[in-house]
Amino acid sequence: MSWMDELPEQVQESMDDLLLETEQHEETYMDAENAPIGQIWVAMAQMNKRIQKLEDLVQAQRTALKEMDVEVEVDKHLDKDLKESLKRY
């Protein structure tokens, strides 16, 4: 059994998605001096791209809320919800 099989299903699916995205650049990272490290860097770049998309989305939502003249302290709610969520673990 692979160590990845022991992960929760949602984590496995997330890793599978990331590996598929990373695999699209296999020709490039296989040319690296250390291909496994090149693969990790490509995966990190893919994750960074995902994070940037989320940050852009959040910024657009905040801008839209400001333009609607709606006062919502998103960070305050996130902190509270995150704190409550983490307490469950």
pLDDT for the residue 74: 62
Locate 11 and state its tokens: 């984590």
| Distance of alpha carbon 75 from alpha carbon 47, whole angstroms | 23
pLDDT of the residue at 37 = 96
Q: Are 68 and 56 in contact (CB under 8 A)?
A: no
Tokens read off for 46 = 């893919």
Q: For residue 69, what are the contacts with CB-CB under 8 A and spacing of at least 6? A: none
pTM score > 0.85 for this model?
no
Q: Quick one: pLDDT at residue 89?
A: 47
Instruction: Provide block-wise average pLDDT over 10 residues at a time, the chain (89 residues).
Output: 87 93 96 96 96 92 79 65 61
Residue 47 φ/ψ, nearest 5 degrees: -65, -40
